[in-house]
Amino acid sequence: MKNMCRCLVIVGIIAALPVAAPALAKQAQPAANEQTRQAPDARYRLRPGDVLDLNFPFVPAFNHTVTIQPDGYVTCRAIGGLRIDGLTVPELTETLRTKYASILRDPVITVAIQEFEKPYFIVAGEVERPGKYDLRGDTTVTQALAIAGGVRDHGKTSQAALFRRLPDGRFDAKTFDLKKMLNDAQLSGDLRLEPRDMIYIPRGRHFKASELTSTLASSLWILTFLH
């Protein structure tokens, strides 16, 4: 009798598997989709100052080199001005094919980056060595401040700011309490930098008049960054 009961239990489990498996798969699918949506795009995106070779293998007369201007535009042979900053190379290649299709039949185009702007970040305000630094690998705000020599005594770390340039040319500004984050050892809020980010540490109310010149000089980095 006991053996018969065990057999019935096993049969019941096996019969339930075809029903349970699709349900489990449906539960796992949204999580996988969410992870896919959050995965960052690691492809390099074109920026002003980049130099590109545009090659037309079957129409060599159209081969030319372009430099992305500060406004994000380039002047392409036969089609004129085109804004390309923020695009990846594959995106630009497809855009060029579409544009040149009006004057060339099934154009074949290759794009090669000859020169590009090295990723960098800027630290300004009340730090020991304000300036522009190469962005090498993953770097967080606290690491960037350490690279810049640390925050001066009169720096107001409770109102630190991070400026990030958006693809459309606008800026996204985030303020955060760096002092509280460090005191509470909550480094999960230590933001990871992206190329061309700028960290700004404002000064507190009390500072020496002799330090005004260095404060103003470091603030000039903001003007350079915003333009």
Helices and strands, number each (H, E), in the chain = 5, 10
**Where do runs of H (alpha helix) occur along the chain?**
2-38, 89-100, 141-147, 178-183, 212-226
Residue pLDDT, tens place only, 89-114: 999 999 999 999 999 999 999 999 99
Domain ranges of the chain: 51-115, 120-226
What's residue 43's pLDDT? 81
Strand partners of residue 161 = 175, 200
Task: Provide the mean pLDDT of the chain.
Answer: 79
Q: Residue 168 pLDDT more than 60? A: yes
pTM of the model: 0.55
Q: Residue 129 pLDDT more than 70? A: yes
More confident of the two residues 159 and 169: 159
More confident of the two residues 67 and 227: 67
Confidence of residue 165 (pLDDT cuts 50, 70, 90): confident
The CATH number assigned to the domain with range 120-226 reads 3.10.560.10
- Stretch 75-80: mean pLDDT: 96
Strand partners of residue 66 = 52
What's residue 106's pLDDT? 95
Residue pLDDT, tens place only, 174-221: 998 998 988 888 888 899 999 889 999 998 865 454 444 445 455 555
For the chain, what is the largest distance between any 2 Cα atoms, rounded to a whole number of angstroms? 96
**What b/e sequence results for 122-153 when a residue is b if at least 16 CB atoms lie within 10 Å of its CB, and e otherwise?**
bbbbbbeebeeeebeeebebbebbebbeebbe
What's residue 219's pLDDT? 52
Residue pLDDT, tens place only, 20-55: 444 444 444 444 444 433 344 568 889 889 999 999
Domain 51-115 fold: wza like fold (3.30.1950)
What residue has token string 């020599």? 149
Q: How far is CA 86 from the centre of its chain?
A: 10
- Stretch 7-25: mean pLDDT: 43
- Stretch 142-171: mean pLDDT: 90
Percent of the chain past pLDDT 70, that is, above it, reads 71
